[in-house]
Amino acid sequence: MSTSTVDLQHDPHGEHPDDPHHQHHFTTMEQQFDTSKIGMWLFLATEVLLFGGLFVGFGMMQARFPEEFKEAHEHLQRPLGALNTVVLLFSSWTMVMGVLSARTNQRKKLVIYLMITILCACIFLGVKYFEYSHKIEEGLLPGHYYTHHGDKIPNTHGYATFFSFYFMMTGLHGIHILVGIGLLWWIAVRGNRGEFNSSYYTPVDLVGLYWHLVDLIWIYLFPLYYLIS
Amino acid sequence: MAQALTHSDPHIGDRPRPAKNYLNATTGIWSWMSTVDHKRIGVMYLVAVLSAFFVGGMFALLIRLTLLTPSHKLFGKVLIDADAYNRVFTLHGAIMVFLFIIPSIPGSLANFVLPLMLGAKDVAFPRLNLASFYLWCGGAALAVTSMIFGAVDTGWTFYTPYSTTTQNAVGLMTMAVFTLGFSSIFTGLNFIATTHKLRAPGMGWFDMPLFVWGTYATAIIQVLATPVLGITMVLLALERAFNIGIFDPKIGGDPVLFQHFFWFYSHPAVYIMIVPGMAIISEIIPTFSRKTIFGYRAIAYSSVALALLGFLVWGHHMFVAGQSELATVIFSALTFLVAIPSGVKLFNWLATMYKGNISLETPMCYAISFLLLFAIGGLTGIFLGALSTDVHLTDTYFVVAHFHYVMMGGTVIAFIGGVHYWWPKITGRMYNEKWGRIACALVFIGFNMTFLTQFFLGSKGMPRRYYNYLDQYQPLHAFSTFGSWVLGLGLFIVAAYLLASLRKPMDAPDNPWGGTTMEWLTSSPPIEHNFEEQPVLEHEPYDYRPKVKKHA
Amino acid sequence: MEWFRSLMLPPQGSAFAAEVDALYMFLFWLSAVLFLGIAFAAIYFAIRYKYVPGRVTPHITHNTTLEIVWSVLPLLLCVVIFFWGLEGWMKYSVAPGESMEIQVTAKKWIWTFEYPDGSRTANDIHVPVGKPVKFIMTSEDVLHDFFVPDMRVKHDIVPGRYTEVWFTPTVLGPHHFTCAEYCGKGHSDMMGKLTVDNEADFKKWLETGGDDWKNYPPEVWGQMQREQKGCATCHSIDGTRGQGPSWKGIYGKMETMSDGKSYLVDDAYLQESMMQPNAKIVKGFEAIMPSFQGLLHPQDIRGLIAYIKTLK
């Protein structure tokens, strides 16, 4: 019988009184880490479903307007899309290296890798900026803002629908990149202060998972929009 | 030493009440607003969802009053016109579904009880839990704002293209629903992680109380279905703002696609509403029968089965809506599968009562009401699942009656039963038992008067969402309205004696009903960190066999 | 048994109705038996095993045989019900080839019907007894639903699409149809009359609009047309402003149009407003009224004008 049980009510840090990151309702740091990971995976599942709804909507509309969608995608600059894909893939690698550095107590390396990841994210957004402004100039805009001239099929809403989805999906993805930059910056600052080590690097790990998801979604967006055939 | 669970006498476990509990450990408004204690958040949720229930209920009474006569006149004056009526039933539906029933049991009771049942000190992510509550508040604020800006007259289902073309505050309401969706996701996410990682030492998956199983199954649906509702609401709002061309047929969209999106969430949402209700019943029945639950695993698996099947039957809302014939036939076949786990639960509860030692305290009265009302709700579902009868009955009062039997006769009755069951634990006080039973009887009678009538109205061909109706339906409408008054009176009495109990000093024992789950091990109300010592599970759940105290 | 069915269900107007009712009644009795069984068990157990302090209950955790039985039996029953429902559904969803086709256009909040010979009606249809009729339906604005309770059929009407519903009427006389998909303010007023005629009466009605009108003074007939043809949805008779101008005191008045010109409201003006409603739009209103060309027979127009004259 556990007569030796610590009276937890008066010791919020339980068995790890020395680790400031340990929350009172977890018995061990390991349990706390695993729990955080489950939470993050579940959150990522909701993200996949959020985008999933848009993918399904895109598919339905593509089935309705196959010709328009095919023609509309030619307005997208495939090389720029490909460049962004490479940039994001590279940033995923630097993120992995960042997590590894945190786990192995390499503080400086962690910060450098995170900075490179942020730089990649900024390049991605920069490229997106050029793409967007090109679309805006040509009137390739969503819904009733669509003013592009010279399309092959007259009297159709198909082109506008294509660009509605293009802006919604890449826009939502772009917002995720922005949030990602904020999160990366936050853990970089904390990492620089030396808050992470081999026994506590949960935030780095979780932001890493998030960043891979953002990357993964782009891996699906790129062929969907740029490589329709 | 760890506390051993024994239960031959319902009042065992009494000991001096600790001076400090979760209610008075810290004081001041701010200590509540910034709390991360799951019990306080549960209490705040309880107050919030009950307020929403009150508002939604007032709208319901107004709807019934309007339909009392075909002329809608009371003392010679027309009560509300068609436009106002459409807004009132939309608000009734939206408030009851999104602000009340979906967050009701998970947000309030499960939030309070689930960690206690697992022997945990809190949920996995206490701050996320508080965030979920504030998101609820934000959603409620947006909904109220939409009322100020002309409200919404689309029905709670927001069907396109009516919702994309009507001139009122649909945008605000969709944002409210979007926000409430994320509140629900965070609650679900929290419960899944809590159930996986924070069980007491020795508690395996099949040692968990069935309420935890039900809440866990619900949480899966909350996490997996709600994002789709979120994106649907965004698409609807963007369609209104930019004519993106997905739902509005005038610009090439497909209005039926909206229905697919909407029901892909909103059918699983039906199980977000009913499964926690069933989970409460699975606690109350063994406790008041003083007998182990019959078919523990069957009940646990059937909760999960309902959660998963819930994702496969959304098309049964659309048999006559213009989806493909093949899809309709498949959805009908799948729908019948839902009957099996629901039936299994019902039979298991009855078998639990068999040879029990049954006392009819208020929670048990609600549990038996639930059995009868849910039976009717389930059986009338078969009429709607069968294809040919559904053609006649869909979009009529039959459907209205059916889902009120499941949502109100099922979930809300279970919720009220659960509030009574855990009231001593939450507040430290017993309520007036005599009034409890009287009110339960009134609620039961009033509910049946109101809604049994509507099965007949619907079968006779009375469509739903009708302001004007043919004179031939008047007697039934009037009877239904009288029933709503009895129902309203019953609920008013519940509110009165529960609030009255708060005025007296704490008098609840730790375990007033002789429950076997861990929440009864701690004091009533619990201390701030739930347990003085980490409880350890020493026997299977719902074990009512007489025991010798091992460590006396 | 017949009277018992009529307690719950509307009169049967078609062969399909009888089939639906057979399944409905089967489900009703099945549900009644199951419900009473459940209720009896719950109440009996509560009384029979009433609380006695200190009594020990048996520890029964499960019973595999029993659990299999109560899972499999309902499943078998469900299979039977599914196929029963499917059988009716097949009939409902496939119209016979020789059906008479009526085109239906639903609009907030009026029904218009077009017969194969080109004649049109609003909110009022006649069909011949014993012949299958198929309704090919579309909507001009939002979702509607064509519901004929006596025939036990309904189907949503979707803008931008055509949907179909059919039945073979078997019972002469009046029935009603109604909108069953929420469509806004006038949703519950979107009702109409379905009359099942014998062959001869139907032909006559198709050609002349029938003889009913001869039984009424013109202004009373006009008043009935206002309700039936959907005028009432937009034009009030008490001066309240609706989607269109109120009829109260309109006859003999000078109305200012949206182009600034004024006209006297007389017989010719009213007739024009029914046939070509968008020729002149009263200032402050929108051009939303559909043309009633072909919808109103001469006696209807006469009646409506006579009725409007009485609204002082």
A132 CB-near residues (< 8 Å, 6+ apart): none
**Please, are residues B327 and B316 in contact by the beta-carbon 8 Å criterion?**
no
Indicate the pLDDT class of residue C208, thresholds 50, 70 and 90: confident
Q: What is the pLDDT of residue A11?
A: 42
- Are C and A neighbours with ≥3 CB pairs closer than 8 A? no
Q: What is the CATH number of the domain that holds A219?
A: 1.20.120.80
What's the domain range around C293? 216-310
Burial of A77 (0-12, 13-18, 19+ CB in 10 A): middle
**In a domain? residue B537:** no
**Chain C residues with CB inside 8 Å of B165's CB?**
141-142
| Out of C150, C163, C185, closest to residue B82 by CB | C185
Query: Mind telling me how many Å the CA of C242 is from chain B's nearest CA?
Result: 13
Half-sphere exposure of C71 (CA within 13 A, CB side): 16
| Same domain, yes or no: C63 and C105 | no
**Please, are residues B314 and B328 in contact by the beta-carbon 8 Å criterion?**
no
**Chain B residues with CB inside 8 Å of A23's CB?**
126
| Out of B125, B197, B231, closest to residue A53 by CB | B231
Pairing of strands C110-114, C100-107: antiparallel
**Chain C residues with CB inside 8 Å of B470's CB?**
176
Buried b (16+ CB within 10 A) or exposed e, B341-371: bbbbbbbbbbbbbbebbbbbbbbbbbbbbbb
**Chain B residues with CB inside 8 Å of A11's CB?**
none
Cβ of A25 within 8 Å of Cβ of B245? The answer is no
| Whole-Å CA distances, C118 to B117, C99, C101, C103, C113 | 72, 16, 11, 10, 10
| Same domain, yes or no: C208 and C105 | yes
What's the domain range around A109? 29-226
**Please, are residues C239 and C229 in contact by the beta-carbon 8 Å criterion?**
no
| Same domain, yes or no: C117 and C77 | no
Amino acid symbol at C229: K
Q: What is the CATH number of the domain that holds B270?
A: 1.20.210.10
| Whole-Å CA distances, C70 to A32, B166, B210, B380 | 43, 49, 20, 19
Residue B423: closest CA among B516, B495, B525, B518: B525
**In a domain? residue A196:** yes
B532 touches chain A (CB under 8 A): yes
Most C-contacting residue of B392, B398, B453, B547 (CB-CB within 10 A), to test interface: B392
Token pair, residue C7, equals 């307690």
| Out of B121, B193, B261, closest to residue A38 by CB | B193
B115 CB-near residues (< 8 Å, 6+ apart): A25, B38, B121, B122, B123, B194, B198, B530
Distance between CA atoms of residues B28 and B31, nearest Å? 5
Q: Above 80 in pLDDT, residue B10?
A: no
**In a domain? residue A162:** yes
Distance between CA atoms of residues B170 and B253, nearest Å? 19
Q: What is the CATH number of the domain that holds C18?
A: 1.10.287.90
Task: Please state the domain count of chain B.
Answer: 1
**In a domain? residue A22:** no
Token pair, residue C31, equals 């549900």
Q: Above 60 in pLDDT, residue B548?
A: no
Question: Among residues C212, C235, C268, which one ends one of the domains?
Answer: C212
**In a domain? residue B271:** yes
**In a domain? residue A59:** yes
Express as a percent the part of chain B with pLDDT over 70. Answer: 96
Distance between CA atoms of residues C159 and C166, nearest Å? 19
- Are A and B neighbours with ≥3 CB pairs closer than 8 A? yes
Q: What is the pLDDT of residue B12?
A: 44
Q: Determine what percent of chain B falls in helix, strand and coil, rounding each to the nearest 5.
A: 70, 0, 30
| Same domain, yes or no: C83 and C122 | no
Mean pLDDT of B69-97: 92
pLDDT digits (tens, 9 = 90+) for B184-234: 999 999 999 999 999 999 899 999 999 999 999 999 999 999 999 999 999
**Please, are residues C152 and C20 in contact by the beta-carbon 8 Å criterion?**
yes
**Chain B residues with CB inside 8 Å of C60's CB?**
291-292, 294, 351, 354-355
pLDDT digits (tens, 9 = 90+) for B116-173: 999 999 999 999 999 999 999 999 999 999 988 888 999 999 998 999 988 888 999 9
Distance between CA atoms of residues C302 and C221, nearest Å? 9
Cβ of A35 within 8 Å of Cβ of B189? The answer is no
Most B-contacting residue of C29, C57, C87 (CB-CB within 10 A), to test interface: C57
Task: Please state the domain count of chain A.
Answer: 1
Cβ of A26 within 8 Å of Cβ of B198? The answer is yes
| Same domain, yes or no: C189 and C113 | yes
Continuous H helices in B198-254: 210-242
Distance between CA atoms of residues C304 and C293, nearest Å? 14
Query: Mind telling me how many Å the CA of A209 is from chain B's nearest CA?
Result: 17
Q: Above 90 in pLDDT, residue B550?
A: no
A39 touches chain B (CB under 8 A): yes
Give the lowest-confidence range in A140-144, A217-221, B66-70, B259-263: A140-144
**Chain C residues with CB inside 8 Å of B336's CB?**
78-79, 81-82
Query: Mind telling me how many Å the CA of C185 is from chain B's nearest CA?
Result: 6
Which single residue is written with the structure tokens 């059937």? B302
SS (H, E, C) chain C: CHHHHHHHCCCCCEHHHHHHHHHHHHHHHHHHHHHHHHHHHHHHHHHHCECCCCCCCCCCCCCHHHHHHHHHHHHHHHHHHHHHHHHHHHHHHCCCCCCEEEEEEEECCEEEEECCCCCEEECEEEEECCCCEEEEEEECCCCEEEEEHHHCEEEEECECCCEEEEECECCCEEEEEEECCCCCCCHHHCEEEEEEECHHHHHHHHHHCCCHHHHCCHHHHHHHHHHHCCHHHHCCCCCCCCCCCCCCCCCCCEEEECCCCEEECCHHHHHHHHHCCCCCCECCCCCCCCCCCCCCCHHHHHHHHHHHHHCC
Token pair, residue C157, equals 């009407």
Cβ of B468 within 8 Å of Cβ of C188? The answer is yes
A168 touches chain B (CB under 8 A): yes
B8: DSSP letter = S
**Chain B residues with CB inside 8 Å of A3's CB?**
1
What's the domain range around B198? 29-520
| Same domain, yes or no: C203 and C232 | no
Cβ of A160 within 8 Å of Cβ of B244? The answer is yes
| Whole-Å CA distances, A67 to A55, A56, A163, A186, C254 | 18, 18, 14, 45, 55
**Please, are residues A102 and A196 in contact by the beta-carbon 8 Å criterion?**
yes
**Chain B residues with CB inside 8 Å of C174's CB?**
none
Cβ of A49 within 8 Å of Cβ of B228? The answer is yes
Q: What is the CATH number of the domain that holds C293?
A: 1.10.760.10
A46 touches chain B (CB under 8 A): yes
| Out of C35, C45, C182, closest to residue B155 by CB | C182
**Please, are residues B298 and B351 in contact by the beta-carbon 8 Å criterion?**
no
Cβ of A39 within 8 Å of Cβ of B529? The answer is no
B196 touches chain A (CB under 8 A): yes
Query: What are φ and ψ of residue A68, in 5° steps?
Result: -60, -45
**In a domain? residue B550:** no
**Please, are residues C250 and C238 in contact by the beta-carbon 8 Å criterion?**
no
| Out of A42, A47, A161, closest to residue B244 by CB | A161
More confident residue, B371 or C279: B371
Amino acid symbol at C293: Q
A177 CB-near residues (< 8 Å, 6+ apart): A121, A124, A125, A214
Question: Among residues C93, C125, C154, which one ends one of the domains?
Answer: C93
Distance between CA atoms of residues B449 and B441, nearest Å? 12
**Please, are residues B91 and B145 in contact by the beta-carbon 8 Å criterion?**
no
Indicate the pLDDT class of residue B14, thresholds 50, 70 and 90: low
Mean pLDDT of B440-465: 96
Query: What are φ and ψ of residue A11, in 5° steps?
Result: -135, 85
Q: What is the pLDDT of residue C297?
A: 83
C182 CB-near residues (< 8 Å, 6+ apart): B86, B154, B155, B159, B162, B464, B465, C143
B292 touches chain C (CB under 8 A): yes
**Chain A residues with CB inside 8 Å of B227's CB?**
46-47, 49-50, 52-53
Indicate the pLDDT class of residue B6, thresholds 50, 70 and 90: very low
Distance between CA atoms of residues B536 and B375, nearest Å? 37
**Which residue of A lies nearest to B242 if distances are taken between CA atoms?**
A143
Q: What is the CATH number of the domain that holds C153?
A: 2.60.40.420
Token pair, residue B379, equals 């059986």
**In a domain? residue A4:** no
Cβ of B120 within 8 Å of Cβ of A45? The answer is no
Question: What DSSP string describes B471-530?
Answer: GGGHHHHHHHHHHHHHHHHHHHHHHHHHHHHTTSPP---S-TT---SGGGTS-SSPBTTB
Per-residue pLDDT tens listing for chain A (229 residues): 333 333 444 444 444 456 778 888 888 888 899 999 999 999 999 999 999 999 999 999 999 999 889 888 888 889 999 999 999 999 999 999 999 999 999 999 999 999 999 999 999 999 999 999 998 888 888 888 888 888 888 888 889 999 999 999 999 999 999 999 999 999 999 999 989 988 899 999 999 999 999 999 999 999 999 887 6
Residue B115: closest CA among B488, B529, B430, B470: B529
Number of CB atoms found within 10 A of residue B417's CB? 25
| Out of B193, B253, B534, closest to residue A39 by CB | B193
Distance between CA atoms of residues C83 and A57, nearest Å? 33
Pairing of strands C100-107, C133-139: parallel
| Whole-Å CA distances, C304 to C230, C231, C281, C285 | 12, 10, 19, 21
**In a domain? residue B270:** yes
B525 CB-near residues (< 8 Å, 6+ apart): B21, B22, B23, B39, B425, B426, B427, B428, B506
Q: What is the pLDDT of residue B1?
A: 31
Indicate the pLDDT class of residue B546, thresholds 50, 70 and 90: confident
Q: Name all chains with 3 or more CB-CB pairs below 8 Å to chain A.
A: B
Peptide bond into B16 cis (omega under 30): no
Q: Name all chains with 3 or more CB-CB pairs below 8 Å to chain C.
A: B
Query: What are φ and ψ of residue B113, in 5° steps?
Result: -90, -35
| Same domain, yes or no: C238 and C205 | no
Cβ of C24 within 8 Å of Cβ of B459? The answer is yes
Continuous H helices in B67-107: 82-94, 102-103
Indicate the pLDDT class of residue B29, thresholds 50, 70 and 90: very high
The interface predicted TM-score of the complex, written ipTM, equals: 0.92
Task: Please state the domain count of chain C.
Answer: 3
B 83-102 residues inside an 8 A Cβ radius of C: 83, 86
Cβ of B246 within 8 Å of Cβ of A164? The answer is yes
Pairing of strands C133-139, C191-197: unpaired
pLDDT digits (tens, 9 = 90+) for C72-123: 999 999 999 999 999 999 999 999 999 999 999 999 888 999 999 878 888 8
Would the CA dihedral through B106, B111, B116, B118 be positive or negative?
positive
Size of interface B-C (CB pairs under 8 A): 269
A28 touches chain B (CB under 8 A): no
**In a domain? residue B545:** no
Query: What are φ and ψ of residue B523, in 5° steps?
Result: -70, 165
| Same domain, yes or no: C110 and C197 | yes
Cβ of C20 within 8 Å of Cβ of B388? The answer is yes
| Same domain, yes or no: C235 and C137 | no
B496 touches chain C (CB under 8 A): no
Query: What are φ and ψ of residue B404, in 5° steps?
Result: -70, -35
Residue B366: closest CA among B431, B452, B320, B306: B431
Question: Among residues C155, C177, C212, which one ends one of the domains?
Answer: C212
Cβ of B227 within 8 Å of Cβ of A49? The answer is yes
pLDDT digits (tens, 9 = 90+) for B470-511: 999 999 999 999 999 999 999 999 999 999 999 999 999 999
B250: DSSP letter = G
B320 touches chain C (CB under 8 A): yes
Cβ of B227 within 8 Å of Cβ of A50? The answer is yes
**In a domain? residue A161:** yes
**Which residue of B lies nearest to C16 if distances are taken between CA atoms?**
B388
Q: What is the pLDDT of residue C121?
A: 84
| Same domain, yes or no: C142 and C191 | yes
| Out of B353, B380, B388, closest to residue C85 by CB | B388
**Please, are residues B245 and B252 in contact by the beta-carbon 8 Å criterion?**
yes
| Out of B320, B332, B468, closest to residue C82 by CB | B332
The predicted model scores a pTM of 0.90
Cβ of A142 within 8 Å of Cβ of B189? The answer is no
Cβ of C145 within 8 Å of Cβ of B395? The answer is yes
pLDDT digits (tens, 9 = 90+) for B387-438: 999 999 999 999 999 999 999 999 999 999 999 999 999 999 999 999 999 9
